[in-house]
Amino acid sequence: MIAPTEILVVDDEVGIRELLHEILEDEGFVVRLAENAGTARELRRKHNPSLVLLDIWMPDADGVTLLKEWKAAGLLTMPVVMLSGHATIETAVEATRIGAFDFLEKPIGLQKLLSTVQRALKVGQAKRASAINLADLGESQVINELRARLETLVNERRTALLTGEVGVGFIECARALHEPNTPWLVLESGQRLISSPLEILESARGGTLYCPEVAHLSRSEQRSLAFMLGKTGTYGVRIVCASSEPLGQLSGEGRFDPTLFALLSSCTVVIPPLRSRRSDLAGLIERCALAFSPDAPARLSPEVRQLLESAPWPGNLIQLQSVLSSLLLSNNDDITVDHLQAILGDLRDTSAPDRPALPPEFFELPLREAREAFERIYFENLLGRESSNMSRVADKAGLERTHLYRKLKQLNIRFPRRVPAE
């Protein structure tokens, strides 16, 4: 069973929306409708459509502006066809330059509409098949290496095990391995593995079955999953499992089925935590903020951004998104460092202290370079643990404030320009 293709129609004219809905639904597409840019943003975020038909002239934000916004945030992952009844050639050229697939003038002819939709979907499917998009995780070298690892697996139907800390982006990587327009099934209840394993495989036939946190399954459920792994070829199903717990250790301690572990560990993908790729944080903060509204990033002052970028994020992406949600959905337009510190304090994971991660080549460096690398890791870690409170950082490091600022500048480590309240 192949999942139907979703098309998002964005137009402020109700007659146009209803007409396009009727035509495209008759062609077998799932059609979602948005009367303005705000609704379009929300539907784009929730459903990730295969194609967007986007009107240029709308009351809250014009289509070109929305197109630019999606492009800047890395969300232009589907073809977009612009619609307008009175646009200039310059507007059409600008939209195409930004990334629009094509441009249709109203009133839109039926054959012209359908041929353009088919061409756009074909191009979009080819792009999705040829490249994995991990923009939701970042653009650092570490993420590029992760993308390369996933791309080697995308054309195979082998089982994959995703490992890493809580919140690193399991679902995003699992989605990256999923073939578009095929069934996508998330295992919501481990009990179904025992009661109806073959029914699950049939539901996911030709597609992907995603099993989050397999360490939480009971031993009976684990054995049933191991049984299903031997049947995936018959059903053409790729099973992708995720675990934030060390399955090898659990297996050695008798707390995880050794047969299942042996099957899963043959194709393991490690997803790196945020603290090992801090260069991604600025872009991720911007991207998460834009998901709320176009003006959301402007509410984050340089001081707040600095604190966000230096925080330890033991909960990784999930914690970052939760903190930004708390900040940006508050009624306080003036977001302060004190406000952010209060939230970070509530969400900080105190169960295990952060340990500095030394680069793999650390012990091959000359002494001077190794010392500088260690000092950079030491101060970045200390700034994160103390929420960039410079008084506490100076106390913990045993340095005078002026010496501390001089050392941070020497190491090219950014720090707040004003002191957060004690």
**DSSP state, residue 353:** -
- Decide yes or no: CATH 1.10.10.60 for domain 276-422: yes
- Give residue 391's pLDDT band: very low, low, confident or very high (50, 70, 90): confident
**What pLDDT score was predicted for residue 350?**
42
Cβ atoms 20, 53 nearer than 8 A: yes
| DSSP line for 136-193 | TT--SHHHHHHHHHHHHHTTS---EEEE-STTS-HHHHHHHHSPTTS-EEE---THHH
pTM of the model: 0.55
Residues 6+ apart with CB under 8 A from 233: 157
Bond prior to 107 in cis (omega within 30° of 0): yes
CA-to-CA distance for 130 and 133, rounded, in angstroms?
10
pLDDT tens string 263-292: 998 889 999 999 889 999 999 999 888 888
State which fold the 6-130 domain adopts. Rossmann fold (3.40.50)
Looking at domain 141-270, its CATH class is alpha beta
**What pLDDT score was predicted for residue 7?**
95
pLDDT tens string 324-382: 988 888 766 778 888 888 887 754 444 444 444 555 555 666 777 777 777 877 787 77
CA-to-CA distance for 264 and 260, rounded, in angstroms?
6
134, pLDDT greater than 70: yes
Give the range with max mean pLDDT: 59-63, 204-208, 383-387.
204-208
**What pLDDT score was predicted for residue 155?**
62
**Domain range summary for the chain, segments of one domain joined by +:** 6-130, 141-270, 276-422
- Whether 141-270 and 6-130 are alike in CATH topology: the answer is yes
Give the range with max mean pLDDT: 80-94, 112-126, 207-221, 244-258.
207-221
**What pLDDT score was predicted for residue 347?**
45
